[in-house]
Amino acid sequence: MIEHVFACRLTKVLDEALAADVSQLDDATLHAELIAFEKESSRLAAARAALASEWDSRVLWATDRSRSPGARIARDAKMAPASAGRDVRRARKLRSMPLGAAAFADGSMSADHIDVLCTANEAKLTAHYQRDEAMLVEQGGKLTYQDYCHFVSYWIQAAEDDVAEDKATRDHESRYLKGGKTMDGVVDFQGRLDPIGGAIFWNELERIEQQLFEEDWAAARAEHGELATERHLRRTALQRRADAQIEMARRSSGAPSDVLPARPLFTVYVDYETFTGRMCELADGTVVTPGQVLPWLEGADVERVVFQGRSRVIDLGARTRLFTGGLRRAVELRDRHCTHPGCTVEAKYCHVDHIVEYCDGGETTQENGRLLCPFHNRQRPGRKNPPTNGP
């Protein structure tokens, strides 16, 4: 009879937690318990990775002639094959990531952060990773998930141009769109685009989708007045997205042949954090390589952003009421997303808020400006209808 040493102890703890009446906890305790459980769940994933690594190294998954470790785990643990395969790949990577594994085990890095770190430990980057592991792990313990993805993407590009360019080439070559009509004439399709092509498509889709949302909301308000809620909208979010794609096609077919397409905007950062030079990204923060940008340059706009320098002078007057033009753009480039802790709403959907209120003498300057999404901008004490500073 096999004794499940670790599993039995874990089962007892989980049984106690599941038996607890959490409805009796006060708000502060409930929040603290939830966050503690989330952090401990990452430590549990670290312990699972250690078990999986040893199990995989002994090739125990092959004892019943399974085709792969993931297939054996998926079947015996009744998991999705993709989830089981991810766990095995993570366990294998961690064998050569001592500092990352330690941070995973002590809870200073979540499972999601560890998966991002694993992307920096590719075969061609081994020497660079070993050199910079301490720095990468340190940043992983400080940054939010979104910011850490951004940070590691820059590190990969700075560490080895060939690796980043090879991946960019694979992303571009793997683009596709497939679909067709059913017997009833229904069209069903799916596809994949590289970051630049995807951004061009997605930005326009979201722009039209927002227009449709505003139309739906206006219709709901006209019929139900101030009592209108989301359930009164005539379309669901997915239906609006489908209709937005149809509208994109209608507008394209109706456009004159001599109309020039919109020019993409690429941002090149210089001296961004610890990196220098040729770091490029899209407006939504997606890091792209010089090789990806090159084919677009003839029909694109490029802006250079220098931090801690005087390359770009923005002077719209300290008493200008709203953040507009170059001043708004500067705040967008600096903050990237809503500055409320944990909020990741993109810059294009945010307001630029005065840190010291304009009515209290606050100046309209970069130093006194910050991005806040509409929701968090309305949460400021005493604020009901904040001024609009963009989308």
pLDDT tens for residues 140-185?
999 989 889 988 988 888 787 677 788 788 888 999 999 888 888 9
The per-residue pLDDT for 70 is 93
- What percentage of the chain reaches a pLDDT higher than 70? 87
* Confidence category of residue 263, pLDDT binned at 50, 70, 90: confident
Per-residue burial over 25-56, b = 16 or more CB atoms within 10 Å of its CB, e = otherwise: eeeeeeeeeeeeeeeeebbebbeebbebbebb
- Of residues 390 and 14, more confidence is placed in 14
The per-residue pLDDT for 384 is 52
Mean pLDDT to the nearest integer, 355-369: 86
Identity of the residue numbered 229: T
Question: Please, what is the average pLDDT of the chain?
Answer: 84
Give all domains of the chain, ordered by start, each with its CATH number: 32-159 (no CATH), 265-306 (no CATH), 313-391 (1.10.30)
* Confidence category of residue 51, pLDDT binned at 50, 70, 90: very high
Compute CA 261 distance to the chain's CA centroid, rounded to the nearest angstrom: 28
The per-residue pLDDT for 322 is 63
Taking the C-alpha atoms of residue 308 and residue 331, their distance in angstroms, rounded to an integer, is 14
Q: Is the pLDDT of residue 5 over 80?
A: no
Q: Is the pLDDT of residue 71 over 60?
A: yes
Which of left, alpha, beta for 235 (phi over 0: left; psi -120 to 50: alpha)?
A: beta
> Which residues, other chains included, contact 374 with Cβ-Cβ below 8 Å and sequence gap of 6+?
349, 350, 351, 386
pLDDT tens, position by position, 158-170: 787 677 788 788 8
The per-residue pLDDT for 78 is 94
* Confidence category of residue 57, pLDDT binned at 50, 70, 90: very high
pTM: 0.68
Query: Which residue do the tokens 């603290």 mark?
Result: 32
Parallel, antiparallel or unpaired: strands 265-270 and 301-306: parallel
Taking the C-alpha atoms of residue 167 and residue 308, their distance in angstroms, rounded to an integer, is 31
Mean pLDDT to the nearest integer, 1-26: 82
| Number of Cβ within a 10 Å radius of residue 249 | 9
Q: Is the pLDDT of residue 1 over 60?
A: no
Phi, psi of 352 (to 5 degrees): -100, 115
- Alpha-helix runs per DSSP H in the chain: 5-19, 27-57, 69-76, 81-94, 98-105, 111-119, 126-140, 145-159, 161-173, 195-224, 237-254, 290-293, 325-335, 374-378
Q: Is the pLDDT of residue 371 over 90?
A: yes
Q: Nearest to residue 175, comparing CAs of 192, 188, 187, 162? A: 192
Could you tell me the two tokens for 390?
A: 């963009």
| Number of Cβ within a 10 Å radius of residue 256 | 5
**CA max distance for the chain:** 79
- What percentage of the chain reaches a pLDDT higher than 90? 47
* Confidence category of residue 261, pLDDT binned at 50, 70, 90: confident
Beta bridge partners of 189: 179
Mean pLDDT to the nearest integer, 54-83: 93
- Of residues 290 and 200, more confidence is placed in 200
Angle at 105 between CA 102 and CA 107, to 5 degrees: 110
Torsion of CA 4, 6, 10, 12, to 10 degrees: 50
Compute CA 266 distance to the chain's CA centroid, rounded to the nearest angstrom: 19
Residue 143, class by beta-carbon neighbours within 10 Å (0-12 exposed, 13-18 middle, 19+ buried)? Answer: middle
* Confidence category of residue 33, pLDDT binned at 50, 70, 90: very high
Parallel, antiparallel or unpaired: strands 176-181 and 187-192: antiparallel
DSSP code per residue over 282-342: -TT--EE-HHHHGGGGGG-EEEEEETTSSSS---S-TT-SS--HHHHHHHHHHH-B--STT
The per-residue pLDDT for 257 is 82
